[in-house]
Structures are given as structure tokens and as C-alpha cells.
Structure 1
Amino acid sequence: MRVLATTTPGLEPVAADEVAALVGSDGERSARGRLRFETDPAGLARLNLYARTLNRTNVVLHDGTVDTLADVERAATGVEWTRYLRDGQAFAVRSSRHGEHPFGSPDVASAVGQAVVDGYRDATGHRLPVDLDDPDVTLRAWVREDRFTLAVDATGPSLHDRPWRTADHGATVRPTTAAALVRFAGHRPHETLCDPMAGSGTIPVEAALAARGRPVDPTRAYALADLTFLPDGLLDRVRADHRERAIVGRTCALDTDPECAAATRTNARAAGLGVDARVADATETPVDADRVVFDPPYGHRMDGGGLRRLYEGTFRSLDRGSWRSVVVLTTREDLVPWTPDERLPVRLGRLEAAALKFER
């Protein structure tokens, strides 16, 4: 089956690497923040359970070119809806549109929704219920320039919403982005990793969970469990094959704020982990770890001079430390004194940032 997965815009190569490792498929970037690839039902379940860099997976039902809203409706009408929906299942259409068109996203959703209702009724004589607030099945419709993609959501709520995040400090990197940074750094389960500006510990917790090979969320429900075209009991069978690593490398988290160190310990406990969280200043503490990954402040609450001193001091400390690779996610490349070995442009909401990788 064709799958379209979403990830942090700019980190598609890292997500594609994880997809290949989990299901053996080569992911292709179809748009910013999106990957396309092929997998089977077991692979789809495995990605939802274990992919740490993906936000959502969608099974593609149609993909082609369109010129008008009528083309969108015809494409949706051509889908065999009795294969993807069953009597009594409430559905909703979530749509987005990019480019110059004489119609908007609500028009796309309305056209697709009407095609689903009409198509299913023509085939079965029954009308499917629509529930925009709490649907059993969510359809996703994207129009980007002249391309129309229609898919069914196999995930449900975004995978970036991790159950262990019980403590926060208000300026936290998304867990899916944090996991991608850890993977970008080349971190392996037996290696040590340190975040010298850990905040509430998102990066080290994600690193420790990935090292152990734990599911993203062992208890959550997934939309794919209600999809009629997938085998019954699929998730349970894939879960039954799980084997967790017992021995992994040490993970540490440093921060100047004692409340942040405490928040990291709280989150680590919620995840069932042990993370070495300590109060320390990144500008004065050389780090000894295989991988160093951090997300420094963006400067919204600091004057320009303070942010510059933070960067200068941190990289001086890194220069005195022992490590194999450093990855930093920053919106202020102009303050980074080293030339990266690899750079990925990253979109963080409305902010343009970059993930910079340095190797020894």
C-alpha cells in the first residue's frame, strides 16, 4: 500500500532513514514535511508503534493532477468507498490547499465529503454518517498546486504527543523533532549521549527510549485499528514481536536551572527511564559523550549580547570535551563559530532553523 507520512519539515532525510530501518522501504520526499513510500499492513503498524520521527501515517487512496474543483470531486468519486468504510462508520474530511485556485480548503472538504456519501450510498443503499468532531475514520485531502492527494488517516492524534511529557518548561522542542536530531547525530543504543541545555529533557528522554527500542506510546489507540481494509488484530500481532534492549548507553541532561533538571527527572520517571539530570552550565562544563545533541535558546528572552556569549561559551566548552558528533538545532546560525559537516534546513512553526552536525 502507498503511505504518506508527515514529519518535521526539513528532517525528511532523517525520517526516511528511520522508515527504511523499520520496514525496509525507501521514503521519497513528496513535499516539505512529507514522505511517500510503500509498505504492507504489518509495516504500517510497526511505523505507528515504533517510528519516533513521524507525526502521522496516511494510506493513499488517490493521487493525481487536477485543474478544477470538479476534478477533485470526480477523483474522490472514483474511489471504491465500500472497501475503506463500513456501514455506520462516521467519517470526516480534513483538507488543506496550497497554491492559486478559485476554491478554498472548505470547498475541497465539501466536494470530497459529498463524493463519499454519494458513492457509498450508490453502492450499498446506505448513507454514511458525518461527524466532524469525533469521527471513526478521518480522510485527508490535500491540493497542492495541480496535485490532489486523498488518504485515510492510519494514526489518529499526532505521534508527537508523548505520554511521558508530564513536566514542561514552556519552550520545548517537539519529541518527534528531538528524536530526529538524535538520529541525525548517529546515536546508537550502546553509545552515551548528552544534552548540555536539556530544559525538561525531551532530547535525552527520546534518546534513551530509542536506545531501548520501546514503542512510542505502549497504551494509546490507533486509527488503523478501525480501518476495515486492514487485518483484525494487526496491532496486537506486531506488538507481540517486540523485544526491548536491556543494556544501553548512559544518557545525561545538563541545565543551569534546577527546575529544569527536576522536570527532566520527572519526565524520565514517567517514561520508566533513568536519565542523569544535573545542574551545570554548558559554557563552563566540557562534555564527554559519544553524541552531543542540544536545542539552545532562540533569544526571544535574551538580549543579543547574552545569546552571543552563550553560543561562544558553549562551543568553547565543546572544544574541550570528548565526543564523536555534535548536533545543534538553531535559528541563529550566525552565532555558531564552527563550520558544520552537514546541514539540514528545518521549519519550526513559523521559524526557519537549521540542524547542524559536526563530527570528529
Structure 2
Amino acid sequence: MEKDFKMVATTMFGLEGVLANELTNLGAKDVTEAVRSVSFKGDTGFLYKANIALRTAIRILKPIKVTKIYDEEDLYDAVKKVKWEQYLDIDGTFAIGAVSNSVNLPNHSHYIALKSKDAIADYFRDKFGKRPNVDVDYPDLKIHIHIKNDYLTISLDSSGDSLHKRGYRTATNIAPINEVLAAGMVLLSGYRGDENFIDPMCGSGTILIEAAMIANNIPANINRKRFGFETWKDYDEELYFIIQDALLKKITSSHFKIMGFDKAPSAIQKAEANIKAANLEEFVGVHHVNFFNSKKEVFGNTTMIFNPPYGERLSLDTNEFYGKIGDTLKHHYPGCSALLITSDIQALKNVGLRTSKRIPLKNGDLDCRYVKYELYEGSRKFKKYQQDYPSDNTSETED
């Protein structure tokens, strides 16, 4: 039986706990959270499974060497000492990604990658008189170099392209949300397909698609054409298809509604194209509707998740805009749990509703808050809520 080995799944800030839960539920061992990453153990089959199924992972790395280094010469020597012919043929291709956070070496990823590339090239040239070529687009082997303080970790990148590239997004808007972040937001909301779901400002449909895949237990990366491990020397194609088939057999079918609105016809067209590319037309419907003129038209509990404009790339009065969000939620969406993400913390105060949850997240380089509002329907609790927090004088508390 193959021994388990250590792997590291990278993620976005704020999603470490979500990713750890995903890994635990998937069957990983020794799951340990860190900043923007989660380490775990499993076998080769689990490495394949993690790449196909994880929703909040960006990359799955397989460390092959960890050592202490103090300068650039140590870096070069450490990389050159790896027996690279175990992982890469001389006629193959490779690429290197690097992250450096060290007081002794330059915190310049491109320089670290070049130094490491030279070490690998010299290793092959010294031993075989010939070196493999670099291919940054479609390498046979992608290598990840990570330096933190005095420690170097050399890993094989089993994912290749970032796992947020699901393979379904054919069209985007001005400010599309990352698929990993969208999935993380859905999982953080607690939505699992057991109630209705609405994205009232759906844009190109990313949140809707991630919600539909979660609701129906569809593997996140089932539409991808390629993973990095498929060109590894020890790739087991038969095992890969066994793992894939096992995951496909666990797909379920949610009968609750998943709907998206947008006021822009072009956004609706893009959302429809992406939903079709994800093979989710039977589960998701999108409608040309201005959220501010809409009302709840579905019965039962409903989760709303959306990514409204922040004012970073789109020109608008965010204070007025967020005030209209609050008014629409209050008056037209009772019985919903509404969650939104924004980097405009000041404008968020104009929503005029008390948050039940506030989670720090990153959207690209932007510091954001992911907030939740409980909108009660026809109950004493709702009436007391209105008395305690009337819309004309309620504001968000400071962080």
C-alpha cells in the first residue's frame, strides 16, 4: 500500500477554515491550518481527488524538500541537490513559481525563480550534458519555490494553472469575482442546497454557478481540461479515472430554486453563456431584473449572496447605492438571509441593518468585509428588530 505524504493546499485569506473543513470532509489526514494555506496528508489518489473536488483551494503542492538556507548560494545549492531526473525527463519542459519572504534573500519572486531555474538547468547539464527547456504556459513539471525566514520548501505543483480556473467561465464583466472566493462565500453562508438561493446582482454568474455546484455536490473542477499532475512521470491515469468516477457518482439533485438578477442585458447574456458552459442550465435561472425594483417571489427560506459594486472600478455614489440595498432588503425580502462582500466599509454603514456576522476576506488586493443580515418575516422578533434598529438612524458599528 502506498504511504501517505504531506501536501499543502493554498487558498485566499479568510478561507483557511473553510478549506480545512473541505479537506476533513474529503478524508484528508493531519489537517493543519496556516496563513493562506492548509497542510494535510494523503496518498496519490487523494492528491487527484483534492484537485478535482476542492472548492476553496488555489493550488495543491507536494513538498519534496525542506531545508534551511541563509543566502543565494544556499538556495542554488539546495535546488541543485535534488535528483531532478526522478521528476522530469531531459527532453521535458518545466516552469517555476516562487514566493520569498526572507531577510537574507531578495523578496523578488522573479529573481528567486531565475536562480532556481539556473540550478535545475546546471544539474541536468552537469549530469547529462543537456538540459530541459522552460515552458511557462504548458510545462511537463511546474515547480514551486517557497522561502519563509530561513527555510526553503521545494514543491511540485500538482494543479498547474490555479484551481480558480474551473473551465466554465467563457465571458466576464468589468469586475468578476474569483471562483474560489465565490465558493468560499457560499460555504461560509451555510448554504448547501436545502433552500432557495438568489444572487440579486449576478454579473457573469460566478456565485450562482458555485452555489449550484455546491447544492448538487458537483466537483468544483470537473470542467477543467488539464491538471499539472497529468504530465508527471508517475501519473496513474487509471487511478485518476477511478477517483473521478467515484466523485461523479456522489452528485445529487437539489430541487430548490437558484436565481440570478441583473439590470444589464449584457451581464445576463454572459451569465447564461457561463452557466451553459458549466452544464448547469437545468439548475440555474437568470433574469433581466433591477434588484431595486424587485421583491421576494419564492416561498420558504432563501439565501441571498451578492458582490455589489465597491466603487473601485465602477463610478457610482456608493453611500446612496448601499442605502438602496438596505431599503430593498428590508421592504421586499423578508425571510431571507442576505450576505454581501465589499471593500467600501464606510458605505456599508448606509445599509442601515444590523449585521449578524462580519468576516474579513480579501478580494484580490482589496481588504473586504463579508457581512450577513437576517431579515425576519412576520414575527415579534422582526417587529422588535425594527423598533430597536429603525432604518432612519441605524448604522454599522466600526470594526
1:225–1:234 CA contact under 8 A, matched in 2: no
Judged with a 3 Å threshold, the aligned counterparts in structure 2 of structure 1 residues 78 and 290 are, in CA distance, closer, same or farther, namely farther
For 2:27 and 2:241, locate their aligned partners in 1 and report how far apart those are by CA, in whole Å: 17
- Give unpaired runs (5+ residues) of structure 1: none
Q: Does 1:258 align with 2:261?
A: no
1:345 offset after TM fit, Å? Answer: 2.1
2:223–2:278 CA contact under 8 A, matched in 1: no
Structure 2 counterparts to residues 67-86 of structure 1, below 5 A: 67-86=70-89
Structure 2 counterparts to residues 57-72 of structure 1, below 5 A: 57-72=60-75
Judged with a 3 Å threshold, the aligned counterparts in structure 2 of structure 1 residues 248 and 137 are, in CA distance, closer, same or farther, namely farther
Counterpart position of 2:327? 316
Counterpart position of 1:220? 225
Counterpart position of 2:112? 108
Judged with a 3 Å threshold, the aligned counterparts in structure 2 of structure 1 residues 204 and 125 are, in CA distance, closer, same or farther, namely same
1:283–1:315 CA contact under 8 A, matched in 2: no
- Give unpaired runs (5+ residues) of structure 2: 376-399
Judged with a 3 Å threshold, the aligned counterparts in structure 2 of structure 1 residues 166 and 105 are, in CA distance, closer, same or farther, namely closer
Counterpart position of 1:233? 238
1:180 offset after TM fit, Å? Answer: 1.0
Judged with a 3 Å threshold, the aligned counterparts in structure 2 of structure 1 residues 40 and 344 are, in CA distance, closer, same or farther, namely farther
Counterpart position of 1:179? 183
Q: Deviations over 1:190-224 (max 9, x none)?
A: 32211111112111111112222223233512111
Judged with a 3 Å threshold, the aligned counterparts in structure 2 of structure 1 residues 77 and 327 are, in CA distance, closer, same or farther, namely same
Q: Does 1:43 align with 2:56?
A: no
Q: Which has the larger radius of gyration?
A: 2
Q: Deviations over 1:147-175 (max 9, x none)?
A: 32211110111222233222322221111
For 2:79 and 2:255, locate their aligned partners in 1 and report how far apart those are by CA, in whole Å: 48
- Residue 200 of structure 1: SS of its match in structure 2? coil
Q: State which of 320, 334, 337 in structure 1 corresponds to 2:346.
A: 334
Aligned length: 356
Structure 2 counterparts to residues 231-310 of structure 1, below 5 A: 231-241=236-246, 242-243=248-249, 244-274=251-281, 275-287=284-296, 289-300=301-312, 301-304=314-317, 307-310=318-321
For 2:110 and 2:57, locate their aligned partners in 1 and report how far apart those are by CA, in whole Å: 26
| Percent of pairs with identical residues | 25
1:286 offset after TM fit, Å? Answer: 3.8
Indicate the structure whose relative CO is greater, using CA pairs within 8 Å and at least 6 residues apart: 1
Q: State which of 120, 141, 144 in structure 2 corresponds to 1:137.
A: 141
Question: AA paired with 1:348?
Answer: N
Q: Deviations over 1:243-284 (max 9, x none)?
A: 221344221101222332233223222222232212333334
1:87–1:126 CA contact under 8 A, matched in 2: no
Q: Does 1:8 align with 2:15?
A: no
TM-score with structure 2 setting the length: 0.80
2:193–2:214 CA contact under 8 A, matched in 1: yes
- Residue 280 of structure 2: SS of its match in structure 1? coil
Q: For structure 1, which segment, 181-190 or 231-240, has the greater mean C-alpha deviation from structure 2 after superposition?
A: 231-240
CA RMSD of aligned residues (A): 2.6
Q: State which of 331, 350, 367 in structure 2 corresponds to 1:352.
A: 367
1:136 offset after TM fit, Å? Answer: 1.0
Judged with a 3 Å threshold, the aligned counterparts in structure 2 of structure 1 residues 198 and 163 are, in CA distance, closer, same or farther, namely same
TM-score with structure 1 setting the length: 0.88
2:91–2:133 CA contact under 8 A, matched in 1: no
Judged with a 3 Å threshold, the aligned counterparts in structure 2 of structure 1 residues 106 and 256 are, in CA distance, closer, same or farther, namely closer
Judged with a 3 Å threshold, the aligned counterparts in structure 2 of structure 1 residues 325 and 118 are, in CA distance, closer, same or farther, namely same
Q: Deviations over 1:83-118 (max 9, x none)?
A: 333443222222232343444434433443344345
2:124–2:132 CA contact under 8 A, matched in 1: no
Q: For structure 1, which segment, 40-49 or 232-241, has the greater mean C-alpha deviation from structure 2 after superposition?
A: 232-241
For 2:235 and 2:135, locate their aligned partners in 1 and report how far apart those are by CA, in whole Å: 23
1:225 offset after TM fit, Å? Answer: 1.5
Q: Does 1:56 align with 2:69?
A: no
Question: AA paired with 1:223?
Answer: G
Q: Deviations over 1:261-312 (max 9, x none)?
A: 23322322222223221233333434455311110101143343xx222212
Question: AA paired with 1:150?
Answer: I
